[in-house]
């Protein structure tokens, strides 16, 4: 339903930006965007009166002052006066394909459902995602097709395949993920994923607030060691400070949630800096969503930018007083705001100390909607102390650095033209990241969200 709405509104968006033309023809020739303010994702100051040339191959041929642009013969020109152009966002912690409305089930994982999610991410200006360990094997041919041309019509996808879960413990999607009980089983599970060609390995280290068994140290050590032997980075889901210290000491490459039980200490900070460990994703929006739907009236449910991401059936469920009461009656409901504030404070501590950190939302499971959460995450990062420029750079150029994706993340000559056109300045107010007027993936326009 969202995609039908997006298709309907895309023609209007093209008219608004002066780019009216047959879609296929636009994709086949060069395109010149001009007279906008450029936020290039590198950390450099914004550049007013900029232009860029998108070549026929979907890459940026030239970027610089509008007064100096030379349009290729036959190129289409789009006047973006008063607009802002930034790279597409790169969300380093998502889940795709397993949810319909508010129901998660591994049997929902189909190529069609994955593509629906990736198109929705792109509509919200999220042009690359890292799917974090709950993906069925249908993800691999889709990813291969994207990389064969480099020019998908939806968000680009990286995948951790089926992440490693301790037997009987927390994590993954039942019926899909690998459950292991011993170091040998853990090593074999890593090999299975490596043989499939995953981009990295994911493990879950958590006891779900004391309700489930936790992966033992010898098992997490085996996962990390075997992943490194296979030439793969390994990322860990953690909650507690003590678990973050454990896996960082074992050589994990990144943490995919913030420490949320207490303040990070100097020992962890020093170890992360010494080892180059990333705080890959803070998932602040995930923490906020744990209580947002249980406090009526929830402002989020009346946000048109949010509603555009949600099916009517899911929205009706979220607005149901009975469901809101169920959420609010959870045993840890009143703890979730504290967990969020702890995560925000820890992001600030790590950032101030110089620990590398990325951008990720944990969107995709029920109630955590593709695309919308990335913009919520940006706002929460700014609330935590980042400037809008720092938040945008983290979600673009820095995220691409972690992926080793040298042709993504910044708007520079030779890189893919994955970009978002905004109607207002996100550096003045990060919430203007929601003012999406157009999205391009590899130079091709895709239908943008319309609240």
Helix axes 111-123, 139-149, angle to 10 degrees: 50
> Over pLDDT 90: what percentage of the chain?
92
Q: Is the pLDDT of residue 52 over 50?
A: yes
Q: What is the mean pLDDT of residues 162-177?
A: 97
Q: Is the pLDDT of residue 381 over 90?
A: yes
Query: Of the candidates 98, 107, 72, 41, which has an alpha carbon nearest to the alpha carbon of residue 412?
Result: 41
Confidence at 178, pLDDT banded by 50, 70, 90: confident
pLDDT at residue 295, as a whole number: 85
Q: What is the mean pLDDT of residues 404-428?
A: 98
What's the pLDDT tens digit per position in 292-311? Answer: 999 887 889 999 999 999 99
d(CA 22, CA 216): 58
The CA-to-CA distance between both ends of the chain, in Å, stands at: 13
pLDDT at residue 26, as a whole number: 37
What's the pLDDT tens digit per position in 334-354? Answer: 999 999 999 999 999 999 999
What's the pLDDT tens digit per position in 24-47? Answer: 333 458 999 999 999 999 999 999
The CA-based angle 275-281-283, given to 5 degrees, is 145
pLDDT at residue 5, as a whole number: 41
Q: What is the mean pLDDT of residues 419-439?
A: 98
Q: Is the pLDDT of residue 265 over 60?
A: yes
pLDDT at residue 299, as a whole number: 85
Q: Is the pLDDT of residue 130 over 60?
A: yes
d(CA 361, CA 309): 15
Decide which of 352 and 5 is more confident.
Answer: 352
- Helix and strand counts by DSSP (H, E) for the chain: 16, 19
pLDDT at residue 334, as a whole number: 97
For the chain, the residue count is 451
The CA-based angle 401-402-403, given to 5 degrees, is 90
| Neighbouring residues of 44: CB distance < 8 A, sequence distance ≥ 6 | none
Confidence at 289, pLDDT banded by 50, 70, 90: very high
Contact 30, 76 (CB under 8 A): yes
d(CA 218, CA 198): 23
Q: Is the pLDDT of residue 3 over 70?
A: no
pLDDT at residue 18, as a whole number: 37
Query: Of the candidates 306, 310, 235, 279, which has an alpha carbon nearest to the alpha carbon of residue 451?
Result: 306
d(CA 264, CA 247): 14
d(CA 372, CA 306): 6
């Amino acid at each position: 339903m969202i995609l039908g709405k997006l298709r309907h509104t895309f023609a209007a968006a093209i008219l608004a930006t002066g780019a009216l033309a047959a879609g296929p023809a636009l994709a086949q020739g060069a395109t010149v965007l001009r007279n906008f303010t450029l936020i290039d994702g590198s950390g450099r100051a914004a550049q007013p009166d900029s232009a860029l040339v998108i070549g026929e191959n979907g890459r940026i041929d030239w970027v610089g002052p509008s007064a100096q642009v030379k349009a290729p013969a036959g190129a289409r020109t789009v006047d973006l006066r008063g607009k802002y152009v930034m790279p597409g966002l790169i969300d380093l912690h998502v889940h795709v394909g397993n949810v319909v409305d508010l129901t998660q089930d591994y049997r929902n994982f189909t190529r069609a459902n994955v593509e629906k999610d990736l198109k929705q991410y792109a509509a919200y200006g999220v042009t690359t995602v890292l799917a974090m360990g709950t993906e069925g094997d249908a993800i691999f041919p889709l990813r291969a097709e994207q990389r064969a041309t480099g020019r998908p019509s939806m968000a680009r996808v990286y995948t951790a395949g089926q992440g490693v879960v301790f037997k009987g413990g927390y994590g993954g999607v039942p019926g899909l993920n690998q459950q292991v009980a011993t170091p040998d089983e853990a090593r074999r599970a890593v090999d299975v994923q490596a043989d499939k060609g995953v981009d990295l390995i994911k493990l879950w280290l958590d006891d779900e607030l004391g309700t489930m068994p936790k992966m033992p140290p010898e098992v997490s050590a085996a996962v990390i060691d075997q992943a490194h032997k296979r030439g793969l980075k390994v990322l860990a889901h953690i909650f507690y400070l003590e678990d973050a210290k454990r896996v960082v000491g074992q050589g994990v490459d990144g943490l995919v949630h913030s420490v949320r039980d207490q303040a990070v200490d100097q020992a962890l900070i020093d170890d992360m800096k010494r080892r180059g460990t990333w705080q890959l994703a803070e998932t602040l929006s995930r923490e906020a969503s744990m209580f947002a739907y249980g406090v009526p009236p929830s402002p989020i449910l009346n946000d048109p930018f949010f509603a555009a991401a949600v099916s009517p059936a899911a929205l009706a469920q979220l607005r149901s007083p009975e469901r809101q009461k169920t959420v609010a009656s959870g045993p840890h409901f009143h703890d979730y705001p504290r967990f969020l504030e702890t995560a925000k404070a820890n992001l600030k501590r790590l950032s101030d100390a110089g620990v590398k950190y990325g951008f990720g939302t944990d969107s995709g499971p029920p109630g955590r909607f593709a695309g919308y959460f990335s913009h919520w995450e940006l706002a929460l990062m700014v609330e935590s102390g980042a400037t809008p420029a720092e938040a945008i750079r983290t979600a673009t150029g820095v995220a691409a650095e972690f992926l080793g994706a040298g042709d993504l993340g910044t708007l520079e000559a030779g890189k893919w033209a994955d970009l978002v056109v905004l109607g207002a300045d996100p550096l003045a107010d990060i919430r203007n990241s929601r003012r999406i007027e157009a999205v391009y993936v590899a130079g091709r326009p895709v239908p943008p969200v319309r609240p």
